[in-house]
Structure 1
Amino acid sequence: MDVGPELSTRLVAANPGIPAGAIATAGIAALVVVLIPTVWLRLRIAITLVHELGHAVAGVLSGRRFTGFVVRGDMSGHAVTVGPARGLGRVVTTWAGYPMPALVGLLMLWGATRGYADALLFACLLTLVVVLVFVRSGGTLLTVLAAGAGVGALWWWRNDEVQLLAVVATGFVLLVGAWRHVGALVGGRRDPGSDSAVLGQLTGIPAPVWVLTFAAVLAAATWAAARLVLDLA
């Protein structure tokens, strides 16, 4: 097999349109994942993974150096970036975690509706391969490997309809899961190490205000996703 042409074909091939029934199925699957406790307890680590990588990406874009990350099944984790202890870069890096799952979910929904599901899956696979060198725990390694294996198999042994359903469902899971993630921040006990608390310490702006900024981004992403879905109806 000639890898070059095969790779190019997989990246540029557009998916067929998304039937309304497929969107409904994906939305129901997302609700099952997020709202049923036994399912959520096993799959919520995906939200944590995107959250921590959001810190990493924002840190690098802010001029900081990303050195490693850890994710845990209880939705806790941490990403380490090296740079000034205070300043705009640290604030942006700390803030980016909670909004990132919703933004990635919106990107996946947009890509699927525009025929870029294949390219999105390939980008996700490349990202997971790159971040392997930054893994700092055995559990995190297993999580990234499992995610990479699933994404890689879905992308390589392609089935356009299955890819579309998987990408749309994942987009919905990230969007709805982002709300539950922020809800856990609001409803849980006050943690001085939480992102909102750290932002309060860095800026003097109360932690609840930062939580409201997270919610505002999630609301905007949810509204945009709803528009995408309605446009297909």
Structure 2
Amino acid sequence: MDELVREWTAQLLDSGNAAALIAGLVALVLVLNSTTWLPLRNVVTIAHEGGHAVVALLSGRKLNGIRLHSDTSGLTVSTGRATGPGMVFTLLAGYPAVSLLGLGGAWLVTVDLAHVMLWGCVALLAAMLLAIRNAYGVLSILVAGGAAFAVSWFATPAWQALCGALLSWFLLFGGLRPIAELRRKRSRGRAPNSDADQLARLTGAPAGVWLTCWFLIGLVALVLGARWLLLMPQV
């Protein structure tokens, strides 16, 4: 056990892993600090609503549009059967999408494909822009897409990797906080039409079950993503 701890410590002191660790600490502060979390939560909302939209299309539903609001809430509207697997999976997808995107980004950074991650973000945001139906949503997508494009086009590979790691960490940590926030809102009776409550009405499984599932998915993604970013050999 001591030998394993020494090996992990040596890996963490590697320059690449140290940079990833610092990026993780910065991301954690950004998520925990209310002042920075409020504006940056838009990034999480974009990923959340994008998850709803992608799964709605994959399940055969028609995507009518996405709205992003200045209070960092969002709404994805699709048409199709009001019940059944398509609707269930569409509602289910939002919260895990954030953590899974962070996990995917962590893997790409680890295998030295941060530029692919950044260009993927630009492509996904460009596609999402076509479905946005309000001015604030358009502005949010353009700002996020512009930032990803600027890093992918102008930054050196080292800075691309660092920014990719920071974004991955932010999504991994940021995927968990909204679940905790929703739990608190529900305990005060302030979110009767949340994704969890709609799933409860559709499936009969209590909303708490869905909250627990989302939290566990996010936690597993965080642990695995952290291992990839910190403990695997740098490419």
TM-score, normalised relative to structure 1: 0.89
1:82 lines up with 2:79 in the alignment: yes
Contact 1:58–1:93 (CA<8 Å) still a contact in 2? yes
Q: Residue 207 and residue 125 in structure 1: after superposition, are their counterparts in 2 closer, same or farther (change >3 A)?
A: same
Q: Which residue of 2 aligns with 1:55?
A: 52
Question: 1:154: which partner in 2?
Answer: 151
Q: How does 1:187-206 map to 2 (within 5 A)?
A: 187-188=184-185, 189-190=188-189, 191-206=191-206
Kept after mapping to 1: 8 A contact 2:17/2:231: no
Aligned residue pairs, count: 217
Are the structure 2 counterparts of residues 108 and 202 from structure 1 closer, same or farther at C-alpha, using a change threshold of 3 Å?
same
> Match of 1:231?
232
Change over 3 Å in CA distance of 1:162–1:138 after alignment to 2: same
Structure 1's consecutive aligned runs of 4 or more residues displaced over 4 angstroms after TM superposition are none
Shift of 1:74: 2.9
Asked if 1 retains the 8 angstrom alpha-carbon contact of 2:41 and 2:72, the reply is yes
Q: CA deviation at 1:35?
A: 1.1
The offset of 1:223, in angstroms, is 2.1
Residue 219 (structure 1) aligned with residue 216 (structure 2): no
Secondary structure at 2:44 match in 1: helix
Alpha-carbon distance between aligned partners in 1 of 2:148 and 2:233, rounded to the nearest angstrom:
25
Superposed displacement of residue 83, structure 1: 1.0
Give the aligned partner of residue 207 of structure 2.
Answer: 207
Shift of 1:66: 1.4
What is the correspondence of 1:1-233 to structure 2 with a 5 Å cutoff?
19-188=16-185, 189-190=188-189, 191-228=191-228, 229-232=230-233
Structure 2 distance, partners of 1:163, 1:232, is 18
1:223–1:122: structure 2 CA closer, same or farther, 3 Å change rule? same
1:227 shift after superposition: 2.3
Instruction: Give the SS at the match of 1:78.
Output: strand
**Cα displacement string for residues 177-216 of structure 1 (whole angstroms, at most 9, x for unaligned residues):** 1111100011113312100000001111111111111112
| Long gaps (5+) in structure 2 | 1-13
Which residue does 1:7 correspond to in 2?
none
Q: Is the 8 A contact 1:104 1:171 kept in 2?
A: yes
Change (3 A) 1:18 1:221: farther
Q: Distance in 1 between matches of 2:169 and 2:125?
A: 20
Structure 1 residues without counterparts, runs of 5 or longer: 1-16
**TM-score (norm: length of structure 2):** 0.88
Q: Once superposed, what is the RMSD of the aligned Cα atoms? A: 1.5
Q: Percent identity?
A: 36
Q: How big is the shift at 1:72?
A: 2.3
CA contact (8 A) 2:30 2:37 kept: yes
Instruction: Summarize the Cα distance change of 1:166–1:214 in structure 2 as closer, same or farther, 3 Å threshold.
Output: same
Amino acid at match of 2:94: G
Q: Provide the residue aligned with 1:11 in structure 2.
A: none
